[in-house]
Structure 1
Amino acid sequence: MNKYSISEFIKQTEQVDRGEGFFELETPRMLEVNLDNFVWAKVGAMIAYNGQIKFEREGILEQGLGTLFKKAFTGEGASLMRATGKGKLYLADSGKKIIILHLQNEAIYVNGNDLLAFEPTIKHEIKLMRKVAGMMSGGLFNIRCEGTGLIAITTHYEPLTLRVTPGKPVITDPNATVAWSGNLQPEFQTDISFKTFLGRGSGESFQMRFEGDGFVIVQPYEEVYMQAQS
């Protein structure tokens, strides 16, 4: 058979059921959700589906008045949609690599831009990092996911996980920071020498400092966020 024929291409790329359950990686950059009830997903992440599925943006008041403020402040970056029904749903985000994590009565913070989907059993809460509101135009919010169930996060290229241990803090660039363990509370610091070296406009003069016992996931890429409206 001609290796460039349409039939060969279909054979090489067609969807295959692997029986992996609720979340299944069709490719390293495409997530299949075997939907039988509902799932939370990032707004705009749907690329295809079959079956009977309807999509609703998360209600602004669904989590109370505090969320109304956060959504108005952060814009669309942390917007979630609820996909309800029965069928197969395919999710992706700008070709980023997808990582599936099974939380077992655990908590993890994920940058609002890097959370792709999670099971209904996971509790979520949008957290605004007020301390940096005036410093950075992006990366101001993250989503705390807690409970038992599956979550899918995305990274540009291959992620690296750094261990944080007592007495050995880890400092990261906020725009390259994807997620961190639920028991860590990062502080923001300014590196004056960095600021002088890179120029006043550089976001790299602001860094996230993690202290305690846990982990931080970073990516080899600095996300450029939309400029916040003043």
Structure 2
Amino acid sequence: MNMPSATPPALPALPKRHTLQEFIHATTQKDHGQGLFELETERLLELNLNGKVHTKMGSMVAYHGQVKFTRETLLSRGVGNLLKKAVSGEGARITDAEGVGSVYLADAGKKISVIELSNESIVVNGNDILAFEPTIQYDIKMMKRVAAMLSGGLFNIRLQGSGLVAITSHYEPRTLIVEPGKPVVTDPNATVAWSGSLEPQIKTDVSLKSFLGRGSGESFQMLFEGSGFVTIQPYEEVAYQASS
């Protein structure tokens, strides 16, 4: 499987004022030859679809061709009613895009990173998954101790196998290496992904509540111990809280 290039070719810069033809030329979709997952820009992903791809519900911004979209509830993956109530009124969903055509995905202007797994596993924050191939097995995990806070870390998706995965982050992601005896502690709202070999623990620290601005009286952190990595973003992402 061909790995997409890290950065798509730069488009010609637009002058402050430009003709309509200059605008169209500079912004027209280009074929970068990256295969199934093609980064049109660092914030827009094109799926060159000829089959099926799992996508985050609501991430499709445009498409052409013969493409069918089917919602799959995460509840069908074994997540309980607590997740359905806590995440959204309708439950969090993955949408299957299937057919032949081009599908364009984006998520609130967040930066997109494309990763190729080779019989490997990664856990991605539920807010930060964008798309992944059906050759990859996935399972939904809920962090029950975080359910009371408005956190993007409420549910996570564990991906295992071989294939392409697209994740998102606010601004540039950074990865911290976890080593034995050198644990890493992160804010759940700023945690994007971590290696499948790690099982983070949720801890609280009242002494940090004023520093982190938590209104609940407690500061929640994720503690990673062992060998692996954890990817963070320079932004605290807060998930939508639905009315009960």
Q: How many Å apart are 1:200 and its aligned residue?
A: 5.9
- SS of equivalent residue, structure 2 residue 25: helix
Match of 1:84 among 98, 102, 106: 98
Aligned residue number for residue 146 of structure 2: 132
Match of 2:79 among 50, 54, 67: 67
* Unaligned runs of at least 5 residues, structure 2: 1-13
RMSD: 2.1
Structure 1 position 157 matched with structure 2 position 167: no
Aligned residue number for residue 224 of structure 1: 238
Structure-2 change in CA distance of 1:132 and 1:102 (3 Å): same
Q: Deviations over 1:170-206 (max 9, x none)?
A: 0001000000000001011111211265666158711
Q: Could you tell me how far apart the structure 2 residues matched to 1:16 and 1:33 are?
A: 13
Structure-2 change in CA distance of 1:78 and 1:142 (3 Å): farther
Q: How many Å apart are 1:54 and its aligned residue?
A: 1.1
Aligned residue number for residue 67 of structure 2: 53
Contact 1:78 1:141 (8 Å CA) reproduced: no
Q: Deviations over 1:63-91 (max 9, x none)?
A: 3xx23536424434742101111000000
Aligned residue number for residue 27 of structure 2: 13
Structure-2 change in CA distance of 1:227 and 1:203 (3 Å): farther
Q: How many Å apart are 1:122 and its aligned residue?
A: 0.8
Structure-2 change in CA distance of 1:130 and 1:16 (3 Å): same
The count of corresponding residues between Structure 1 and Structure 2 is: 226
Q: Under a length normalisation based on structure 1, what TM-score does the superposition of the two structures give?
A: 0.91
* Unaligned runs of at least 5 residues, structure 1: none
- SS of equivalent residue, structure 1 residue 184: coil
- SS of equivalent residue, structure 1 residue 9: helix
Q: Could you tell me how far apart the structure 2 residues matched to 1:213 and 1:67 are?
A: 28
Match of 2:219 among 199, 205, 228: 205
Contact 2:44 2:105 (8 Å CA) reproduced: yes
